[in-house]
């Protein structure tokens, strides 16, 4: 979708539900070379008491999602994905803000994630929100044995504090 046609009034971020899984799986398979299975998402939503997931819904269609595990006072981001047709509209940023805010509301003091060493677009987004590289997981991704950067941020990051002041 081109930015000129995108109507932000038609976008909402809300908790993921089981009824969203057909759309979530469409985004997942279009976004990743080693996509999660539908059953993995069912397990996250039904069985994993640590898991929290949100979707970006545009005009009634799920076009992105994000999730994390709340472990003690830390949020461990599991995944963020935006349908390729909706990239470049800052939906990844909106999803990241949503889960960071949710994590803080649950008492989170830090967040962490792993990101492909070659995914510079995602790394730039995470750095914008205060995430810093702290290490590397060698051969982390099973589809091609690619390394992952480990990134952490203290909450709330400056960029979110600045947005609160502007609001």
Q: How far apart are CA 10 and CA 59, in angstroms?
A: 5
**Active-site entry in 53, 58, 126, 129:** 126
96 φψ region: left (φ > 0), alpha (ψ -120 to 50), beta (else) = alpha
Residue 141 appears among annotated catalytic residues: no
Distance from chain centroid for Cα 51: 12
Please, which residues have CB within 8 angstroms of residue 166's CB and are 6 or more apart in sequence?
none
Residue 114 appears among annotated catalytic residues: yes
**Active-site entry in 65, 114, 132, 164:** 114
| Residues tagged active-site | 114, 126
């Amino acid at each position: 979708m081109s930015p000129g046609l995108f109507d932000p009034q038609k976008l909402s971020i809300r908790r993921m539900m089981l009824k969203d899984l057909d759309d979530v799986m469409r985004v997942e398979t279009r976004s990743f070379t080693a996509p999660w299975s539908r059953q993995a998402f069912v397990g996250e939503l039904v069985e994993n008491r640590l898991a929290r997931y949100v979707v970006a819904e545009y005009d009634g269609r799920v076009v992105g999602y994000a999730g994390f595990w709340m472990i003690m006072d830390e949020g461990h981001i599991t995944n963020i994905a935006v349908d390729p047709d909706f990239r470049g509209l800052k939906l990844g940023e909106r999803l990241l803000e949503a889960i960071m805010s949710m994590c803080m509301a649950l008492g989170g003091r830090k967040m962490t994630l792993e990101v492909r060493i070659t995914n510079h677009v995602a790394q730039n987004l995470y750095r914008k929100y205060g995430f810093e590289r702290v290490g590397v997981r060698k051969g982390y991704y099973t589809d091609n044995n690619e390394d992952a950067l480990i990134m952490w941020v203290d909450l709330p990051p400056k960029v979110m504090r600045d947005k609160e002041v502007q609001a």
